[in-house]
A and B are shown apart, each in its own frame.
Chain A
Amino acid sequence: MSSHEEVLEFLPWFVNGTLNEREQSMVNDHLQGCRECNEEVKVLLETSKLFHASPEPSPDLFGQARSEFLQQLQGRRERRANWARRWMIPATMAACLVVAVLIVSPVSRQEESFGTLGNSASSSGHVIQLVFQPDTPEKSIRSLVLGDQGHIISGPTAQGVYRLELPLDKDPQWVLERLRNHPDVQFAELEASP
């Protein structure tokens, strides 16, 4: 693109005064010797004048549109407030219900598993409360329990307590003695009978 064509393209924005310094300087230099571009600037000035003469808005339409717009804004605000009012009570009730369910059901389940050492449970045979050494492998625990032909009826609790139910024909004192002597067992105690 030649300098003349480039300047010709820039002229509308030369007239509105928004060219950057480099572009403006280029146009100014070109206008020194180009009659055609000077004529074009005159036409563009006339054009610009024409656009500035465009009619002002009708006050009636403006007032009506403004009033409708502000009503729309107010309406949106009221709809939001109504929506909040309509949903606030059910939402609060639903939230309360969820909280209540969360409070009641998991804790009631936890209470079973977080039994204390003095806890007793209904089981047919004797029950031994048992705590293994930390990091005792599951295989060792299973082997110890099966060796006594018992089975774990609950645990471990948060304190690591298992409850081991023995068959009726097993002597609990003998089992207890054997468990206490095992290196993987930290604690073993017979649960008090109900």
Chain B
Amino acid sequence: MNRPLRSNDIPLGIPCSVTSLREEANSVNQLEISLIRAIVQEDRGAMAQLYDIYYPRLQRFLVGIIQDRELVAELINDVMMVVWQKAAGFRMQSLVSSWIFGIAYRRAMDGIRKDQRYRTVLNEVPRQTPTDSSLNESITARDLNVFMKVLTPEQLAVAQLTFEFGYSYPEIAQILQIPVNTVKTRMFHARKSMQKAYGLGVTDK
């Protein structure tokens, strides 16, 4: 058996030391807090700066849930307008990014519930197990779409916030406004669905 893996072994180019990761997050958050303070003073330059930082991140996040880039672009503008309007109400009790991702998630879920266009797009995308899966085959970027199709929007959000954006499970609970145990449950089911799609991963409890 190989040496057991430790978090420091993770070969992803992601900052793996928890301390350095947190320090980086704090530093980014400080910059973003200064932008939010300027936005409260109606500084449109600061708003444009925050928009430039968040558009790519929100797009990656929301495309998973909504799966239509044009709708996502429209949704991001809604989200950023909420940020502009509500900046004065942001109490600094969470990371700026958690606050913005939380707005984005709720807007996306509202869209799915209320807006026919969102439902049309989602209905066009078959959420089913792919037939060309191959056991233990290395996963490639091409397969991201497959993952998106086998996970529900709620499961995908948890998976993205964990793997792509590096949030802890308590932070994800805060962003999605759900209990910590629900985060873990959604992740468990997401892993099960990915396992079904690829024959990889988590075993039954």
Contact = CB atoms under 8 A, between A and B. Distances in A.
A125 interface: no
Interface in A85-137: none
A54 B144 CA distance: 7
Given A18-B21, A61-B69, A62-B55, A32 B4 contact: yes
Interface stretch (A64-72, A138-146, A163-171, A174-182): A64-72
Interface stretch (B26-34, B124-132, B161-169): B161-169
Interface string B1-17: 11011110011101111
B67 interface: no
Given A12-B163, A58-B69, A38 B203 contact: no
Interface residues of B, number: 63
A49 B76 CA distance: 25
A42 B5 contact: yes
A68 B73 CA distance: 10
Given A66-B51, A69-B51, A73-B44, A50 B6 contact: no
B188 interface: yes
Contacts of B76: 65
Contacts of B84: 73
Contact of A50 (B55, B139, B191, B205): B139
SS class, residues of chain A in contact with chain B:
helix
Nearest to B85: A76
SS class, residues of chain B in contact with chain A:
helix
A44 B7 CA distance: 12
Interface residues of A, number: 49
B179 interface: no
Nearest to B181: A9
A163 B139 CA distance: 102
B120 interface: no
Contacts of A183: none
16 contacts: A5-B205, A8-B203, A12-B159, A15-B7, A16-B168, A28-B4, A42-B5, A44-B163, A48-B12, A50-B141, A55-B141, A56-B56, A66-B51, A69-B81, A70-B44, A73-B44
